[in-house]
């Protein structure tokens, strides 16, 4: 049965009538449609643009599809109706079209340097194998590959690029040759410079960004997913590392402390910014609203721009049509205006995924 929704449609700020026919939206009246909401603020479903439903709490790989489903449902019940999974050790293409799960835009496994990333998470390869591995992982995902651009090098005692600059640039080229986009994990100053200049499509975290690189990202349209929730954990990371790697510990704290201004500078320069929590491992799922609040309160993004970064702009970036004629029937309805208070996103009256109302969270 077709559904009918009436409310203030964002970002248009107009009271509109929408009809949901199957998985699609139309503005043409559908006789006999069931009206499920006649007031409120209507928003395209939220996106977590950096999430890991293949990594369990604590950092271990999940071992079953049911674990992935359970993690995805935590995000769904928090209003996230689309996820970009930025790397999973367990392939799960069969979850792409499950009707009660968020839409999934996926990378394959992380492509990482040998013995310099989270154990059992990535495919760890030397420089000679990087390009071929990127091509393999491009086929394992559905539009993205995930590169580990840096990690601690215990021989150096600090962050260092994963491979040499030519290899890292070739990894981006291999992704593009395979017809997918490349996302890169970076904390350090040196690795993020290599990858931005190589034309990577998105920078994940990006704590080492300089003003010059921010300007280049703005010109290129390179996206930034700050994962500010994750960066707050750097103090714990530094405490654990300090006995053996004091220089690395100091570096991580310095990167953490400057990061709100880095994100603010990127925002002011016009870099595309999207909401991502890095859920999985050390970050709980269901934290998209917390990330949005940090972007507003610490990085100075306007509420409207934060909403765009978590909703209609993020969906467009990922190729998921929003609430337009023929768009996807993924939406949330809120009794209060989230443009006035982002906390309103915590209490939707309705979540509709793939044209079907979801039951209230238990």
CATH of the domain at 263: 3.20.20.140
Instruction: Determine the distance from the C-alpha atom of residue 345 to the mean position of all C-alpha atoms in its chain, rounded to a whole number.
Output: 18
Q: What is the mean pLDDT of residues 55-67?
A: 93
Find out whether 347 and 338 touch, Cβ atoms under 8 Å: no
pLDDT above 90: residue 265: yes
Same domain, 208 and 82: yes
Cα–Cα nearest to 318, from 7, 27, 49, 87: 49
- Containing domain of residue 306, as a range? 45-317
pLDDT above 90: residue 297: yes
Q: What is the mean pLDDT of residues 62-68?
A: 95
- Band (296; pLDDT cuts 50, 70, 90): very high
- Number of structural domains in the chain: 2
- Band (1; pLDDT cuts 50, 70, 90): confident
Same domain, 260 and 343: no
Cα–Cα nearest to 61, from 93, 85, 86, 89: 89
Same domain, 23 and 53: no
- Band (362; pLDDT cuts 50, 70, 90): low
pLDDT above 90: residue 57: no
- Band (241; pLDDT cuts 50, 70, 90): very high
Same domain, 109 and 206: yes
pLDDT above 80: residue 54: yes
The CATH number of the domain holding residue 39 is 2.30.40.10
Q: What is the pTM of this model?
A: 0.97
Give me the phi and psi of 231, to 5 degrees please: -65, -25
Residue 360's pLDDT is 78
Q: What is the mean pLDDT of residues 318-344?
A: 98
CA atoms within 13 A of residue 31's CA, in its CB half-sphere: 0
Same domain, 28 and 173: no
Tell me how far apart the alpha carbons of residues 280 and 120 are, in angstroms, rounded to a whole number: 14
Same domain, 36 and 172: no
Same domain, 268 and 235: yes
Q: Calculate the average pLDDT of the chain.
A: 97
Residue 128's pLDDT is 98
Q: What is the mean pLDDT of residues 332-340?
A: 98
Among residues 286, 301, 317, the one where a domain terminates is 317
Same domain, 36 and 76: no
Same domain, 13 and 121: no
């Amino acid at each position: 049965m077709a559904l009918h929704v009436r409310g203030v449609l964002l970002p248009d700020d107009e009271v509109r009538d929408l009809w949901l026919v199957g998985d699609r939206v139309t503005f043409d009246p559908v006789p006999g449609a069931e009206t499920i909401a006649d007031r409120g603020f209507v928003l395209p479903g939220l996106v977590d643009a950096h999430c890991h439903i293949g990594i369990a709490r604590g950092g271990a790989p999940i071992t079953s599809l049911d674990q992935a489903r359970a993690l995805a449902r935590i995000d769904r019940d928090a209003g996230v109706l689309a996820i970009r999974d930025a790397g999973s050790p367990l392939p799960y293409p069969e979850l792409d079209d499950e009707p009660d799960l968020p839409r999934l835009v996926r990378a394959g496994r992380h492509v990482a340097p040998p013995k310099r990333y989270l154990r059992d998470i990535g495919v760890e390869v030397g420089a000679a194998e990087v390009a071929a591995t990127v091509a393999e992982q491009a086929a394992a995902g559905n539009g993205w590959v995930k590169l580990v651009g840096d990690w601690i090098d215990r021989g150096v005692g600090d962050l260092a690029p994963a491979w040499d600059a030519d290899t890292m640039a070739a990894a981006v080229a291999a992704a593009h040759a395979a017809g997918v986009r490349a996302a890169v994990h970076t904390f350090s100053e040196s690795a993020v410079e290599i990858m931005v200049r190589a034309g990577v499509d998105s920078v994940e975290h990006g704590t080492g960004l300089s003003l010059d690189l921010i300007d280049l990202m703005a010109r290129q349209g390179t996206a930034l997913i700050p994962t500010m929730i994750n960066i707050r954990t750097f103090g714990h990371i530094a405490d654990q590392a300090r006995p053996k790697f004091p220089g690395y510990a100091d570096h991580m704290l310095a990167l953490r402390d400057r990061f709100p201004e880095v994100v603010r500078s990127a925002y002011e320069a016009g870099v595309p910014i999207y909401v991502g929590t890095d859920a999985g491992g050390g970050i709980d799922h269901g934290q998209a609203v917390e990330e949005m609040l940090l972007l507003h309160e610490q990085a100075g993004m306007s509420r409207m721009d934060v909403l765009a970064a978590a909703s209609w702009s993020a969906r467009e970036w990922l190729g998921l049509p929003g609430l337009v004629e023929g768009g996807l029937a993924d939406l949330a309805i809120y009794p209060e205006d989230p443009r006035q208070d982002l906390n309103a996103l915590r209490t939707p009256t309705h979540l509709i995924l793939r044209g079907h109302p979801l039951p209230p969270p238990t």
